[in-house]
Amino acid sequence: MVNLKNQKIFIFEFVSGGGYNQVDIPSSLFSEAYAMLRATIEDFFKLGFQITTLLDIRIEFLSQYLKADITKLVNKNDDYIKIYTECVKKSSYCFIIAPEFSNILYNLTKIAKDNKKTVLSVDLEGIRLGTSKLKTYNFFLENKVNTPQTYAIPFKKKFDLEFVLQKFDTLGCPIIIKPEDGVGSESIFYFETKAQIIHFFEDSNEKLDISRNFILQEYIDGEDLSVSIINGVSSKKPEAMNQIILSINAQSIKFKDPANDSIYLGGFTPVVDYEFLKDRLEKILKSMDLSSFRGYFGIDFIKKADNSIFFIEINPRLTTSYIGIRNILGYNPLEVLFNRDKPSLNLNRLPHQGFSKFNQLELKYFGDKTSNEIISIIIPKLMSLIPEIVTPPIALSKSVMDRDLLYYCFIATKTKDLDSSEKRISKIIKIFNDYNFKTIK
């Protein structure tokens, strides 16, 4: 095994690390992003790495909760790519968390590869495939696994309504419209009727970013789930992939009316019928050519009422579920990245140790403390009282008065089961109330 002590690693997360330095950071998106950064840094820290990371200067106070040796700040007028590249050059290893759209994840990973660094996140080939929903769809078809029918929506000055209506008739079921290079639940629209589609397309150019391509997808009704995998290559058998299923996770995705896109609310891990699903997925995964995806990645899928499985997309990066998964494993999942030639570990057979529910809380502050007092006095107290907080309550939006701000935080429980987690979350909400934070959702 590689001696990791004092090895230099650069860990970069796009949203909190300067990718939004010249625009407002959406608080909701940030709370999830910072939680992934903090969890990842902590687990690499436990392996003995010397860690460098970037942080947007607007959330400089959160550096105290990161176990990084060096935290470089990105200012509003900085070229974050330049700072990013300098950090890459000074490190031996890189781990990158970034959105797939606009080739952001691909371009950042390419910088690390061009500088001959060891990339521990997914490599370029996997990113190229996972970023494109159409390529992923064709990949699933080639590997003979169930996947919803998917079509590119033609665009000539505007999106082709007639094409969408025709496919809606052909499919005979609700449809989803989403970006071809989308990430998470971003810009996903759900339609049940022709009238909804026609109304939506009356001003579709305002709702859909015309600089991006969009797809139409058959809606599959069932449980929204994901499987988190570390895919390694045995040094003795380079052609053999060593897939380790870390967990299978439930995802809470709320579809609103067709005028608004969906919302990702979090999830929990492991799912109730974990062993049954894991056995099924192991067989399916072994039949697929996943050689393009090495390292940590996730696959979103739907389990229908008849227990059939439909693969939706591949996330070529660490996902939000990791924040909960690390709470239920008896080992450091990131250490597995360095044990690719040791299948004897047989981590697939290790039982989970408990249960974790991970979700974002939307809060409103009704007390009399200023924003600075909340940061310096209240947040340290909350962090001490609630170890489940991964991202403390933070408001990044502009507002005339502090009391108008919405605060977002991200929590992950560590309990024995779902019922225990629900009870603990109720206690957490009560603690927030004691400090004049009321939950909106």
Dihedral angle over CA of 345, 346, 351, 354, nearest 10: 60
The residue out of 349, 380, 401 marking a domain boundary is 349
Tens digits of per-residue pLDDT, 347-372?
Answer: 666 779 999 999 999 999 999 999 89
pTM of the full predicted structure? 0.92
pLDDT at 334 (0 to 100): 92
Would you say residue 67 has pLDDT above 50? yes
Q: What is the pLDDT of residues 268-297, one digit of tens each?
A: 999 999 999 999 999 999 999 999 998 899
- 346: pLDDT strictly greater than 70: no
Domain containing 397 equals 356-439
Residue at a domain's end among 218, 245, 261: 218
Q: Quick one: pLDDT at residue 77?
A: 92
Mean pLDDT, the chain, as a whole number? 89
Please state the rounded mean pLDDT for residues 2-16.
89
Same-domain pairing of 227 and 214: no
pLDDT over 70 percentage in the chain: 89
Number of domains in the chain: 4
User: Residue range 298-306: average pLDDT?
Assistant: 96
Q: For the ranges 77-91, 116-130, 349-363, which has the lowest average pLDDT?
A: 349-363
Residue 38, pLDDT > 90, answer: yes
What CATH number is attached to the domain comprising 426?
3.30.70
Between 132 and 207, where is the model more confident?
132
Any domain includes 342: yes
Q: Which of 186, 218, 250 is the last residue of a domain?
A: 218
Quick one: pLDDT at residue 360?
Answer: 93
The answer on 214 and 231 residing in a single domain is: no
Report the phi/psi class of residue 375: left, alpha or beta, with left for phi > 0 and alpha for psi in -120 to 50.
alpha
Residue that wins the pLDDT comparison between 263 and 222: 222
Predicted confidence (pLDDT) at residue 94 exceeds the cutoff of 50: yes
With pLDDT > 90 as the criterion, what percentage of the chain qualifies? Answer: 73
pLDDT average, residue stretch 108-131: 96
What is the CATH classification number for the domain harbouring 211?
Answer: 3.30.1490.20
Q: Are residues 89 and 233 in the same domain?
A: no
- In this structure, is residue 318 part of a structural domain? yes
Look at residue 86 and tell me whether its pLDDT is greater than 60: yes
Q: Has residue 1 been placed in a domain?
A: no
| Residues 339 and 241 placed together within one structural domain of the fold | yes
Q: What is the pLDDT of residue 207?
A: 72
Q: What is the pLDDT of residue 238?
A: 46
The per-residue pLDDT for 235 is 47
Which of 61-65, 200-204, 232-236, 361-365 is predicted with the least confidence, judged by mean pLDDT?
A: 232-236
Mean of pLDDT values over 301-330: 95
- Tell me: pLDDT of 185 over 90: no
pLDDT at 440 over 80: yes
Q: Is 229 left (phi over 0), alpha (psi -120 to 50) or beta?
A: beta
The mean pLDDT of 368-391, rounded to a whole number, is: 96
Same domain, 284 and 333: yes
Residue 400, pLDDT > 50, answer: no
Same domain membership, residue 56 and residue 182: no
